[in-house]
Structure 1
Amino acid sequence: MAHIATNTYAHISLGKVLAKPFVAIGNFLVKLGEANSRAKTVQRLNDMSDAELARLGLAREDIVRHVFRDYMYL
């Protein structure tokens, strides 16, 4: 009986392996863009007066929590 060598990595496609770095870079760029947008929102809200923030139902100390409320629990 002859021994047949099998490739234990046959289930991993070459395309997926080659795509991984590009997927990671793409995910990083998306997160970077989202962070920049959120930073601009924080800056815009910080530039408002306390009266303007109150009209929006915000206190100055709650700006960051408000802007990142869907991203993380602060």
Structure 2
Amino acid sequence: MFIPVRACWLNLAEGWWRLLRRAAFAGQTFADATEIAHAVAAAATQLNAHAQPWVWGRSPPQPRTLRRTFVYLL
């Protein structure tokens, strides 16, 4: 699969669409486009109310406690 250079924001957009689809469309049936627009607006409002910054990558590893410590066993 080809991923374009300098397009990491696409991964963030895909995650946002996944959250929006799950919040707005999961288990619902719509009669017309007005209901779809209302569901999307309500889901976007709900997602924006609980928004948190995206943390890219892993958290840093814990520092080692025995680093550069010499232990002599008797």
* Same-fold call, TM cutoff 0.5: no
Which one scores higher on RCO, CA 8 angstroms, separation ≥ 6? 2
Higher helix share: 1
- TM-score, normalised on structure 1? 0.32
- TM-score, normalised on structure 2? 0.32
Larger Rg: 1
